[in-house]
Structure 1
Amino acid sequence: MDPAEFLDGGAVSVSDETYAVCRTDRGHPDAFATVRADGETTVVVDEGDVDAVDAAAVEPGWRRLTFEMDLPFELVGFLAAVATGLAEVDVSVFVVSSFATDHVFVGDDDLPAAVRRLEALGCEIVD
């Protein structure tokens, strides 16, 4: 499978919400995502909820780009193609993958450049 086939005409939605990525020692019930690893828990929350998180560190100002497609597990290089394309326009990413799709977070200030680059890769930006 070629990642370009999924990018070409693939729908990408842009969140209205702005998120914060927080390092904490426990989950949060309203988190978009919770990632637990040895000695660290990361929660991604709506920026308006950050005060409710007992966070050791907070990175605010992230917008979510969701690839509105089922991405098969055997697809190799999809995120590499996305991350490389965005890196080429100097956009940093934070990625959360779910069972069948990927969510790429970009800085709010970088959103216009990220959208332009994804469109150049063939993606269709949807509401």
Structure 2
Amino acid sequence: MAQLTLRLINEQFAIHSLSESATIPGEVFSASMFFIAKTFDEISIVLPQSIMIESDEVELNWHALEVVGPLAFTMTGILSNISTVLANEKISIFAISTFDTDYILVKEECMNTAIEALRANQYLVI
């Protein structure tokens, strides 16, 4: 597979956890970028850290790398390859996929190491 371009999003993100029966706060929908996932057990919301919402738990200080797309659904191994590079550096990720692309969130204190590792593995990080 050809190596891909990753774009660093100039934003700090928070990952919120809410109960499965919670109402999604209206502020979420006015964010410039947000992700919502709902399961039988919880609601997860990722949004810019500058937007404060009430949640049961929150993880702060995440940065995002966008895999520049759009990516075809026939492409395989995208997240696997990126996560392997970062796992080899002991860097934990929070991955999100959309219709067109993938986002890899990395804690702020690990981002420089993550970018160096990705570049060393022929990823272009812009």
Q: Corresponding residue for 1:94? A: 94
Quote how far apart the aligned CAs of 1:38 are: 1.2
Q: Is 1:18 aligned to 2:12, yes or no?
A: yes
Q: Corresponding residue for 1:48? A: 50
Q: Corresponding residue for 2:69? A: 69
TM-score (norm 2): 0.87
Identity among equivalent pairs (%): 22
Greater share of strand residues, 1 or 2? 1
Over aligned residue pairs, what C-alpha RMSD do you find? 1.3
Q: Corresponding residue for 2:85? A: 85
**Residues of 2 paired with 1:26 and 1:91: CA distance?**
32
Q: Report the more deviating stretch, 13-22 or 69-78.
A: 69-78
Matched residue pairs, number?
A: 118
Q: Secondary structure at the match of 2:60?
A: strand
**Residues of 1 paired with 2:66 and 2:119: CA distance?**
14
Query: Which residue identity does 1:113 align to in structure 2?
Result: T
Task: List structure 1 runs of 4+ shifted beyond 6 angstroms.
Answer: none
**Residues of 2 paired with 1:26 and 1:120: CA distance?**
43
| 1:26–1:41 CA contact under 8 A, matched in 2 | no
Greater share of helix residues, 1 or 2? 1
**Residues of 2 paired with 1:97 and 1:26: CA distance?**
23
> Which ranges in structure 2 are unaligned for 5 or more consecutive residues?
none
Q: Secondary structure at the match of 1:71?
A: coil
